[in-house]
Homo-oligomer: A and B are copies of this chain.
Amino acid sequence: MAGIDDQHTKYLLSEDEMPTAWYNLQADLPTPPAPPLHPGTGQPIGPDDLAPLFPAALIEQEVSTQRWIEIPEEVQAVYRLWRPTPLYRARRLEQVLGTPARIFYKYEGTSPAGSHKPNTAVAQAYYNKQAGIRRLTTETGAGQWGSALAMACAFFGLELKVYMVKVSYEQKPYRRVLMETWGATCVPSPSPETEAGRRILAADPASRGSLGIAISEAVEEAVSRDDTHYALGSVLNHVLLHQTVIGQEAQRQLAMAGAEPDVIFACAGGGSNFAGLAFPFVREKLQGKPIRIVAVEPAACPTLTRGVYAYDFGDTGKMTPLLKMHTLGHDFMPAAIHAGGLRYHGMAPLVSLLYEQGLIEAVALPQTQVFEAAVQFARAEGIVPAPESAHAVRAAIDEALRCKERGEAKTILLGLSGHGNFDLGAYQTYFAGQLVDYSHPREEIEAALAGLPRVQG
Give the interface of A toward B (CB within 8 A): 8-10, 12, 14-15, 77, 80-82, 88, 92, 110-114, 151, 154-155, 173-174, 177-178, 180-183, 375, 378-384, 419, 421-422, 424-425, 427-428, 431
Contacts and interface: CB of A to CB of B under 8 A. Distances in A.
Q: Which 7 A-B pairs have the closest CB atoms?
A: A112-B382, A174-B424, A421-B421, A154-B379, A177-B424, A9-B80, A177-B428
Nearest to A383: B112
Contact of A178 (B15, B155, B177, B384): B384
A427 B178 CA distance: 8
Given A81-B9, A155-B92, A425-B174, A375 B181 contact: yes
A6 B173 CA distance: 40
A424 B179 CA distance: 10
A146 to B, nearest CB: 14
A424 B112 CA distance: 14
Contacts of A114: 421
Contacts of A419: 112
Contacts of A8: 15, 80
A381 B82 CA distance: 10
B151 A111 contact: no
A378 B9 contact: no
A337 to B, nearest CB: 18
Contacts of A80: 8-10
A81 B112 contact: no
A421 B183 CA distance: 16
Contacts of A422: 421
Contacts of A111: 382
Nearest to A151: B382
Nearest to A147: B384
B81 A382 contact: yes
B81 A381 contact: yes
13 contacts: A9-B77, A110-B110, A112-B382, A112-B384, A154-B379, A174-B428, A177-B424, A177-B431, A178-B384, A180-B427, A181-B378, A181-B431, A421-B421
A82 B425 CA distance: 25
Nearest to A426: B177
A419 B419 CA distance: 13
A419 B421 CA distance: 11
A94 to B, nearest CB: 13
Contacts of A421: 114, 421-422
A254 B181 CA distance: 30
A231 to B, nearest CB: 18
Given A174-B425, A178-B424, 7 more contacts: A10-B15, A112-B378, A112-B384, A155-B379, A155-B382, A181-B384, A421-B421
A81 to B, nearest CB: 5
A367 to B, nearest CB: 16
Contacts of A381: 81, 112
Contact of A427 (B15, B88, B112, B181): B181
A381 B419 CA distance: 19
**Listed residue (A77, A155, A422, A424) with the most chain B CB atoms within 10 angstroms of its CB:** A424
Contacts of A428: 173-174, 177
**Listed residue (A112, A177, A182, A380) with the most chain B CB atoms within 10 angstroms of its CB:** A177
